[in-house]
Amino acid sequence: MELKIEFDDFMQDLEQLIEEIVQNVNHNSYTKEYFSTKEVQEYMGGISKGTLAKMVNLGLKKIVIDRICLYKKADVDDFLEEYRR
């Protein structure tokens, strides 16, 4: 009987952990369609602004509206896929 109580506690803890993970995924910036400059740098592995600028020169598409730069996630993924070896 004691083993069942421990198992029930384990299952309750596991369900709570899964719920927290799902909530974090839903708030994760990687689920966004558009990234800010800082977000795209993080998404691409923590690259510097200089490296990001080089990638833009190589063809990475960016959206500029009144000095605000945005990057579409699909464009970033497509760009990275072009250089995949």
Side by side, the strands of the sheet bearing 63-65 are 34-35, 68-72, 63-65
Inform me whether the pLDDT recorded for 30 exceeds 90.
Answer: no
Q: pLDDT class for 82, splitting at 50, 70, 90?
A: very high
Q: Which pLDDT tens digit goes with each residue over 36-56?
A: 999 999 999 999 999 999 999
Tell me the backbone φ, ψ of residue 35, rounded to 5 degrees: -115, 145
pLDDT digits (tens, 9 = 90+) for 53-79: 999 999 999 999 999 999 999 999 999
Contact 71, 40 (CB under 8 A): yes
Higher-pLDDT residue of 30 and 59 is: 59
pLDDT at 1 over 90: no
Rg (CA), the chain: 20
The residue ranges of every structural domain in the chain are: 34-84
Nearest to 37 by CA among 27, 47, 28: 47
